[in-house]
Amino acid sequence: MIELIPAIDIIDGKCVRLSQGDYASRKVYNENPLEVACMLEDGGIRRLHLVDLDGAASHHIVNYKVLEQIATRTSLVVDFGGGLKTDEDLRIAFENGAQMVTGGSVAVKSPDVFARWIVTYGAERIILGADAKDKRIAVSGWKEDSALNLFEFVDEYRSQGITQVICTDIRRDGMLQGPALDLYREMLAHDPELYLIASGGVSGIDDIYRLDEAGVSGVIFGKALYEGRITLDMLRPLLDA
């Protein structure tokens, strides 16, 4: 059964959502991310994707205090991303309660650093963030496109031991227009053993069931939850399965 992973995106210590990574499109959903995390935990959620959008924009970890609050006051398994560029950033993330971290831009721009993290901390704690537009990797909070092909990028880190990959179709993120099912099917046909986590575009519970049927291992969703298109009650059958 597909793993359900709500997202909390943080700007200025608040729970927000963007559309297609555009910071100008931010919408604040809650002033208190811990309150949101507690609500999710009470609803049966076990894992949280926490994104430091300030960190992604400034190229170093910023909202680690929010991470620490959620990690110490809930039992949620927190995977944390956004602005992790150096060994010091990673140390701060883990010391403040992250159980896993997601690296995207660093895996593109500093592959030696990312490879060292895999060896040092273990592939089970390091998630590859593969954010793509037209099957090309994008970095730096999606402000920059690279020439890297999505499939080649993932293959390289799979050869180094990475097991979990979060793939976000940037054109769909925050747009509530449905996930990139064809892309995910293609990725799984290419690498059937990949623990693929879909991100971007989820508009309702039916999208999650379609991803499950396609063999996707996990799904990150945020805006649909905050806009009431998905409720925790709707998720209950999947959580109890």
225: three-class secondary structure by DSSP: helix
Q: Would you list the DSSP string of 120-180?
A: HH-GGGEEEEEEEETTEEEETTTTEEEEEEHHHHHHHHHTTT--EEEEEETTTTTT-S---
Residue 139, both tokens = 């970095």
Q: Which of 79, 89, 131, 212 is catalytic?
A: 131
Please report which residue ranges of the chain form alpha helices under DSSP H. 33-42, 53-58, 64-73, 87-95, 105-109, 111-121, 150-158, 181-190, 205-213, 223-226, 232-240
Distance CA 130, CA 195 (A): 13
Q: What tokens appear for 119 in the block? A: 């060896």
Q: What letter does residue 2 receive in the DSSP assignment?
A: P
Q: List the structure tokens of 84.
A: 């992790």
131 in catalytic set: yes
Q: How many CA atoms lie within 13 A of 44 on its CB side?
A: 13
Q: Which of 9, 52, 54, 212 is catalytic?
A: 9
Catalytic residue list: 9, 131
